[in-house]
Amino acid sequence: MSSADTLRLLLLSSLWGLSFIFMRVAAPEFGPVPLVLVRMGVGALLLVPLLLSLRYLQLIWRHKGSLLLLGIINHVLPFSLLALATTRLEAGFTSLINATTPIFTALLGAAFFATPVQRQQYIGLALALLGVYVLSANRLDFTLGGDGWFIVAVLGATFCYGVAGNYSKTRLGHLPTRVLAAGSSAMSALVLLIPGLLLWPSEPVSTLAWGNALALAVLSTTLAFLLYFGLLASAGATATSTVTFLVPVSALLWGYLLLDETLSFQVLAGMVITLLGTAIATKLLRFKPHGTLTPPHPPRE
């Protein structure tokens, strides 16, 4: 990976880490669905100009149903669930649970998309799930006022991402990335328009909340999408996938600096176990024949 790509990767992880901070501040005032409407509406307005070409518009029209489904399972549902979770859970904690996305992607790929899973990946999956348990074991309270259902909401978001990742890879992999990004964002904004307006807060939203909502849309959605797809093109999928491990570290750091969130031993231990398991499950770390771990060979892009 070049130095320019490394800087892009660090910036991308920082922007996606900040998204949990922005949601944590804005979601309590907006509510989950109106916040995601702002996020996807502004994001769509900024991304749609990338489609001002007859070829891209024809592709959007031809695949409108698939892009609508992708928008729902990759944006509308998971973003709304994460926004709901951040009304209760700390930003760093939420990002760590969200880091299990590759786990659901692998499990769903094996179950429904004929994606093979190797033995070492099962070890990684089990280790990552153990990390989630370490993180949340003392917070799985499903009584009124407990954190349990909010943790389930984050896991629901990662489940949606797992479905979306497999679906887009197997059914939409032939489409240009700008069509996927802008088309699914525009479809998401349309789906969210009526429910977002119906659930719009009755009380005026503060300037602070508006600022965080717009930053979420411009920085953590539009700019992040452009960085992500640019990185995919120049560095390849393997290198880009390492952002999964940088985002929660970024979110924990931003949460500590900006929101005074605590970094307890439980959170740090859960983070190490979860990210190690995810690295093994995604084959960023591999077992040698004698049982030790080694980084993978550089990808031939």
| Identity of the amino acid at 19 | S
Cβ atoms of 243 and 19 closer than 8 Å: no
Report the number of distinct structural domains present in the chain. 1
**Residue 123 maps to a domain:** no
**Residue 292 maps to a domain:** no
**Residue 28 maps to a domain:** yes
Cβ atoms of 11 and 228 closer than 8 Å: no
Please give the residue range of the domain that contains residue 28.
Answer: 3-99+145-260
**Residue 18 maps to a domain:** yes
**Residue 219 maps to a domain:** yes
Q: How many angstroms separate the CA atoms of 46 and 25, rounded?
A: 23
How confident is the prediction along the chain (301 residues), in pLDDT tens digits per residue?
677 878 888 898 899 999 999 999 999 999 999 999 999 999 999 998 888 889 999 999 999 999 999 999 999 999 999 999 999 999 999 998 888 887 777 778 777 776 676 777 788 888 888 888 888 888 888 888 889 999 999 999 999 988 888 888 788 878 887 888 899 999 999 999 999 999 999 999 999 999 999 999 999 999 988 888 777 667 665 566 667 778 888 899 999 999 998 888 888 888 888 888 877 876 767 766 555 555 554 443 3
Q: How many angstroms separate the CA atoms of 80 and 104, rounded?
A: 18
CA distances from 155 to 36, 100, 151, 217 (A): 18, 8, 6, 23
**Residue 247 maps to a domain:** yes
This prediction's pTM: 0.85
**Residue 130 maps to a domain:** no
Strand bridging mode 286-287 / 293-294: antiparallel
Q: What are the phi and psi torsion angles at 172 (to 5°)?
A: -125, 10
**Residue 214 maps to a domain:** yes
Element (H, E) at 176: none
Cβ atoms of 234 and 179 closer than 8 Å: no
Q: What are the phi and psi torsion angles at 293 (to 5°)?
A: -95, 145
